[in-house]
Amino acid sequence: PDTRYHYAIGMDVQWGTKGTPDYTVLYVKCLETNLIAARLRGRWDMYETACKAAALGFHCNAALLGPEINGQGSRGGPQIMPIFRGQSAQWRYPNLYVRTDIHKLKPGTTPDYGWWTDLHSKGRIIGMSKARTLDKSFDWADEQVVDEMATYVNGEDGNPGAIEGMNDDCVMGRLITEAVADAALLSVDLYREPAPFTLTQRTPT
């Protein structure tokens, strides 16, 4: 990472409720370049997952980190968020994504940390990715996420996802990262290269 730049991380968290667990996938996006800088993919227990994500976030200038906190069986979020917030570990991560839904902005409500995926939020990030792909401002970053898109369809219930036996972890990780990066852009001053200038010196006569 460039110490002058800002980064955002989106995180699709494995849930482990199926016979073969999903993967945890994180993408790191640089806000200054609008490009993906890194991807982390694997299967770990929740504590190791949180440690790896936090380590990557700290390495990338304490990037805004947005882990998905719901999923099949809703097991991952309740396990991983207390780790990030220092409630079940000896450390905490200082820069977590917070939902900004209208109902969460009422006086007296507490911050709702993490990314929540439902039909509304999934439809929004899919639509956003389509528009940015068409105008060539969306960095899909690697072949695996593109391959997953080939098997990403609308289910009979109207919920988009991978066909039976396939994964969509990279797709969701990439889309969540874009949403987290959009949120990060609202609160940072992006680095700009200083404009060149010329000094003229008048020689005494």
pLDDT for position 164? 85
Token readout for 30 is 């640089």
The CA–CA distances, whole Å, from 139 to 54, 165, 173 equal 23, 26, 13
Per-residue model confidence as pLDDT tens digits over 42-80: 999 889 999 999 999 999 999 999 999 875 444 556 688
How far apart CA 148 and CA 136 sit, in angstroms, is 19
Helix extents (H) in 105-203 = 119-134, 143-149, 169-185
Query: Does residue 118 or residue 100 have the better pLDDT?
Result: 118
Contact present, 151 and 6 (Cβ < 8 Å): no
Residues 148 and 162 sit within 8 Å (Cβ to Cβ): yes
The three-point CA angle 155-160-165 to 5° equals 70
Predicted TM-score of the model (pTM): 0.87
**Beta carbons within 8 Å of 29's beta carbon, 6+ residues apart:** 7, 8, 9, 10, 35, 36, 37, 139, 177, 178, 180, 181
Is residue 108 over pLDDT 90? no
Confidence of residue 185 (pLDDT cuts 50, 70, 90): very high
Per the prediction, the chain carries an average pLDDT of 88
Q: Do residues 62 and 5 touch, judged by C-beta distance below 8 A?
A: no
In 85-168, which ranges are continuous DSSP H helix?
119-134, 143-149
Pairing of strands 7-12, 24-30: antiparallel
